Each structure stands twice: as structure tokens, then as C-alpha cells.
């Protein structure tokens, strides 16, 4: 299988569209990867549609969001495709760690520079260069794209939107790791993947990117007040402070009583997709 070839692994009918899973050889990651796609009915008629790229959180694969969020109903109504990659490289020869918050399932959407991680853990380039190019060439998409994610994936969505200013029409996140340079998850991952020089970390830290003057597309963030990771890991208040300071076009909402789970995501995913639709053409 060549790097540019998509192999269809599965397809099921869903809200007059299709939920699919694809496999391909990744040049960026040096391994075989799988990702999920929801295509609405318009796309099945070869009418190109806009899309939302979803980045999942720690321990997840491409299948968590597609099976738990209920996003397909709203995506079908809005005529949006959903592109759902995995969270890290996969395979027997890919370096791993026994902990849940490092290694497979915890790629943190960075380009690793440290060994043994650098050979495979080039998740930033995989998403922003290889995968986006692949799906836009291979599927009935019109090139208009927004980005969203949860937790570690919320971190990835914010960073990619801030760095790829011409790629994404809008960005949203659920409980993002907003300032990973200043939390235990981020300190561990960034030290392992990027080394000890904290200046190198700032390229993958949303708060630091905003402070550096990076432009941000329209932003929506939801955070649950009962999230058990809120106090130690997520830095929601810091994100809100820099969004206000730099006058971002942003709505950052604290949702009372909600936690970090997919019940939280399922409760507000309709809002997020409608938010993205308002900025997407087609």
C-alpha cells in the first residue's frame, strides 16, 4: 500500500450518510494509521462539503468520538463531514510507555525531537500536512475546514488553529489542555518528546502562542465546572485571561455540573458544529 492510497476498512449507513474507517501508510509517522470519517448525504452524491477535523484526547483512538459523541446527527443536518484521526502512531515497532499519559494514545500532536520518539511521533506534521492533504484529495471535500478537539485534542486544535492561520475557518475545544507548559501532563509529555528547553515547548502551547501575537480564528471553548482535571491540568482561567487581553473573537463558557467525559461532549457538540458551520462555506 503506497503512502497516498486509502484502504476502506469499514462503512456503515448513518443519518443518510456513511460512517467510514480508512487505513493508510503514513510517511510522516512511518507506520500504518487508521482514521474515521463521517460523510453526509451530499458527499455521497459527490457534492463537495466542508469539514470539521476532530482531535481526540488521552488514551483515545479515532473511534471514541465517532461512537460516543452523537455528532453525526447534527453533521448530517448541516451537511458537514467529520474527519477523526487517531491520537498517536501505532504499530509493534513504535516506541511506547507504560503510563497512560505518554506514548501510544498520548502523542500530544507535536513533532517529537527526542529519541526514541522522533522516528514515529510526528503528529503535528501528520495532521496538518499529510492527513489534511490526503482527505482533501481523496474524499468529496470542498477544502473549507474547521478544527475541534477534547482535552489533549483540544490542546492540539488550539495550537494548530493558531499556527495554521490560513487553514482553519474556526476552532473550538472541550476542556482543552490550554497551557501545557504549566501542567503535569504537558510537562511530562513535552520533556519526553521535545527535551528540557522550555522555549521549544512554546510552539505547542496555546497560551504562549496567543501571548506571542499569533492570530486566532473565531474560538468557542466549553469547560465543565465538575471536571476533575480542571484545577491541576487545564488552565481554563489562564486561557480566558489571555483571550480577553488580546481581544480574541472568542466565547469561553463554564458549564455548571459537567465533567470531562463524553457525556459532556455529547451535550454541547451540536453547539460546536453549528458554530463551525457559521464560518464554513459550502
CA atoms within 13 A on the CB side of 90: 15
Structural domain contains residue 2: no
Q: Which residues are catalytic?
A: 151, 227, 260
Judge whether residue 2 has pLDDT over 50.
Answer: no
Structural domain contains residue 98: yes
What is the span of the domain harbouring residue 107?
7-277
Q: Tens digits of per-residue pLDDT, 200-220?
A: 999 999 999 999 999 999 999
Give backbone dihedrals phi and psi of 33, rounded to 5 degrees, phi first.
-125, 155
pTM above 0.95, yes or no: yes
Q: Tens digits of per-residue pLDDT, 206-260?
A: 999 999 999 999 999 999 999 999 999 999 999 999 999 999 999 999 999 999 9
Quick one: what percent of the chain has pLDDT higher than 70?
98
Report d(CA 141, CA 159) in Å as an integer. 23
Structural domain contains residue 270: yes
| CB crowding 240-273: b at 16 or more within 10 Å, else e | bebbeeeebebebeebeebbbebebbebbbbebb
Residue 38 CB neighbours (<10 A): 25
Q: How far is Cα of residue 277 from the mean position of the Cα atoms in its chain?
A: 17
How many structural domains does the chain have?
Answer: 1
Sheet with 17-26, side-by-side order of all strands: 7-14, 17-26, 31-39, 81-85, 49-55, 141-150, 168-174, 219-224, 250-255
Structural domain contains residue 154: yes
Judge whether residue 1 has pLDDT over 50.
Answer: no
Structural domain contains residue 1: no
Q: What CATH number does residue 108 fall under?
A: 3.40.50.1820
Confidence of residue 3 (pLDDT cuts 50, 70, 90): very low
Amino acid at each position: 500500500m503506497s503512502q497516498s492510497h486509502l484502504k476502506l476498512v469499514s462503512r456503515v449507513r448513518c443519518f443518510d450518510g456513511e460512517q467510514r474507517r480508512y487505513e493508510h501508510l503514513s510517511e510522516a509517522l512511518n507506520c500504518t494509521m487508521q482514521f474515521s470519517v463521517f460523510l453526509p448525504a451530499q458527499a455521497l452524491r459527490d457534492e463537495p462539503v466542508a469539514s470539521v477535523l476532530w482531535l481526540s484526547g488521552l488514551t483515545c483512538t479515532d473511534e471514541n468520538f465517532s461512537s460516543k459523541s452523537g455528532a453525526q446527527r447534527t453533521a448530517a443536518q448541516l451537511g458537514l463531514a467529520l474527519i477523526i484521526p487517531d491520537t498517536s502512531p501505532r504499530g509493534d515497532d513504535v516506541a511506547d510507555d507504560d503510563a497512560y499519559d505518554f506514548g501510544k494514545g498520548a502523542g500530544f500532536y507535536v513533532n517529537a525531537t527526542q529519541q526514541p520518539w522522533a522516528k514515529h511521533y510526528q503528529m503535528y506534521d501528520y495532521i496538518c500536512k499529510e492527513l489534511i492533504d490526503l482527505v482533501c484529495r481523496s474524499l468529496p471535500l470542498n477544502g473549507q475546514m474547521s478544527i475541534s478537539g477534547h482535552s489533549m485534542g483540544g490542546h492540539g486544535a488550539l495550537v494548530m488553529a493558531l499556527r495554521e492561520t490560513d487553514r482553519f475557518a474556526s476552532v473550538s475545544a472541550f476542556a482543552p489542555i490550554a497551557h501545557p507548559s504549566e501542567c503535569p501532563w504537558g510537562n511530562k509529555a513535552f520533556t519526553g518528546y521535545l527535551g528540557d528547553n522550555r522555549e521549544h515547548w512554546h510552539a505547542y502551547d496555546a497560551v504562549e502562542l496567543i501571548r506571542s501575537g499569533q492570530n486566532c480564528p473565531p474560538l468557542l471553548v466549553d469547560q465543565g465546572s465538575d471536571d476533575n482535571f480542571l484545577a491541576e491540568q487545564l488552565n481554563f482561567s489562564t486561557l480566558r485571561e489571555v483571550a480577553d487581553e488580546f481581544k480574541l473573537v472568542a466565547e469561553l463558557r463554564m458549564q455548571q455540573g459537567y465533567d470531562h467525559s463524553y457525556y459532556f461532549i455529547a451535550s454541547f457538540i451540536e453547539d460546536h458544529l453549528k458554530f463551525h458551520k457559521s464560518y464554513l462555506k459550502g
